Amino acid sequence: MSGWVAVAGLGPGADALVTPEVTEALGQATDLVGYIPYVARVPDRDGLTRHASDNRVELERAAHALELAAAGKRVVVASSGDPGVFAMASALFEALEAGPQAWRCIDIRVLPGITAMLAAAARAGAPLGHDFCAINLSDNLKPWAMIERRLRLAAQADFAMAFYNPRSRARPEGFARTLDILRQECGPDRLILFARAVSTDDEELRVVRLEDAAPDMADMRTMVIVGSSRTRLIERSGSPILYTPRWAA
Amino acid sequence: MSGWVAVAGLGPGADALVTPEVTEALGQATDLVGYIPYVARVPDRDGLTRHASDNRVELERAAHALELAAAGKRVVVASSGDPGVFAMASALFEALEAGPQAWRCIDIRVLPGITAMLAAAARAGAPLGHDFCAINLSDNLKPWAMIERRLRLAAQADFAMAFYNPRSRARPEGFARTLDILRQECGPDRLILFARAVSTDDEELRVVRLEDAAPDMADMRTMVIVGSSRTRLIERSGSPILYTPRWAA
């Protein structure tokens, strides 16, 4: 079988953050599969067939990619950020596990990318420079009670926290609840970063204390990072630097 | 002031995982500062002065980079993986905060890279495809009691866990303790990945259950990832796939 699937991370937006490994896979592909805006980030060329699909059809998209590869195509599944962090890699393996045995012979690679939390952290300073966790705040695929439990335990562990999908159109109240829980567990002075559309022309960064954080500071393009108890701001000309020291007492 | 500092992530080892942004900064630099093996990864060229230093002198190295930039040099601080994850970015900001006020005018950028846990996860499948945490197991900079508390809370939150610096030469007993705590909290069947020297010629991956995990499966070049309660193995020809589904009940 000569077909393959590469689940490729396109990074947060800027071309300068796409790895050469991903660029090479895109150059070899016969088929490009993915969510509409991610497929749109890859330039057209002869010999590349594009299969853009809507949000929330990850399993169908994954099965389609595996079918194409089983038929001998060289398929890139385009993912934003890193494909292994709240993105297409897990969906592909769910489809693989549920699919025909023959699919298990397909050559599958996951090509890592710059995930949103690390791009946002780099632009703000180094808020994830000590122990941290990453939580998907969308309750599409898990119950809210699990999210709340994880938020409280992560706060008790004094992790910095990176939140993906902080505010969905369908359930905007979830992020308001998240901020309430964080204020209870971490107090009003804890620093929180809202990083929107990092590495694109629309990039906006904002650091406030939890007491001043409002749900509408995040939208669907925003990455949110809450510091640990040790996270600090360095004031200077230009934007301040948000960072977490390497040491802890 | 025309000098600058770029704290740049070289990724886990392979050139194909170095972003174009980092490559460009290396091309513009007059001075390269970093831990000996990371500086060794950057080819020599005319006009680039190399300043390689030993491990555990991060603050001195950071201050040196800032001094050079304040004197007008274009300085790249070479970091393995991503500079914001248990690497040089936080050390640079610690030095900045403790240093002279004039340093606060220096143009400082953090250039993200592919961090070890995401490279390891990609090679194994997608074990970090659901909520997860990242913990530095080195107790050089924090007390062991804090590490133990974080391990237990992370297990109770049912996070997948990525461990940096699992086994230091100076304190090999720490990782044995970690495995004991994980067996207590997660039971004997939980899956654990040992990913050594990912993306290099020495790469080795091994997945076992916690009951079969031994301290000597990790060395200084190993990234360790423990699955959540939902992390699964897909058996197939070739190496199995380790992944965590996107959903949770």
DSSP A6-35: EEEE-BSS-GGGS-HHHHHHHHH-SEEEEE
Would you state the pLDDT for residue A217?
96
pLDDT tier at B118, thresholds 50, 70, 90? very high
Minimum-distance CB partner of A141 among B94, B157, B247: B247
Task: Please judge whether A16 and B17 are an interchain contact, meaning their C-beta atoms are less than 8 angstroms apart.
Answer: no
Instruction: Determine whether the interchain pair A122/B108 forms a contact, defined as Cβ–Cβ distance below 8 Å.
Output: no
Question: Which residues lie closer than 8 Å to A191 by C-beta, 6 or more apart?
Answer: A127, A207, A208, A209, A210, A226, A227, A231, A232, A233, A242
Instruction: Provide the pLDDT for residue A232.
Output: 97
Set of chain B residues whose Cβ sits within 8 Å of the Cβ of A102: none
Domain residue ranges of chain B, discontinuous segments joined by +: 4-114, 117-243
CA distance A126 to A218: 20
Q: Which residue of A has its CA nearest to B130?
A: A86
Helical (H) or strand (E) element with A244:
none
HSE of A158, CA atoms in CB hemisphere, 13 A: 12
Q: Mutual orientation of helices A173-186 and A144-156 as an angle, nearest 10°? A: 30
Question: Per-residue pLDDT for B224 more than 80?
Answer: yes
**Please, which residues 51-90 of chain B have a Cβ atom closer than 8 Å to chain A?**
58, 82-87, 89-90
Query: Is residue A9 pLDDT above 90, yes or no?
Result: yes
Which uninterrupted H or E stretch holds B1? none
Q: Is B4-114 CATH 3.40.50.300?
A: no
pLDDT, tens digit, for every residue of B155-201? 999 999 999 999 877 777 889 999 999 999 999 999 999 999 999 99
CB-based contact, A229 to chain B, within 8 Å: no
- Put simply, the answer to whether A82 touches B241 (Cβ < 8 Å) is no
Domain B117-243 has CATH 3.30.950.10: yes
Chain-centroid distance, C-alpha B103: 27
pLDDT exceeds 70 at position B1: no
Closest by CA position to B215, among listed B120, B137, B135: B137
Q: Which residue of A has its CA nearest to B97?
A: A234
Residue B122 and residue B204: Cα distance in Å, rounded? 13
- The string of pLDDT tens digits covering residues A112-140 is 999 999 999 999 999 999 999 999 998 88
Nearest to A9 by CA among B10, B22, B115: B115
A114: nearest CB among B112, B134, B149: B112
Task: Assess whether pLDDT exceeds 60 at residue B42.
Answer: yes
Tell if the CB–CB gap between A122 and B141 is shorter than 8 Å: no
- Across residues A100-118, what is the average pLDDT? 97
Q: What angle do CA A171, A34, A137 make, to 5 degrees?
A: 25
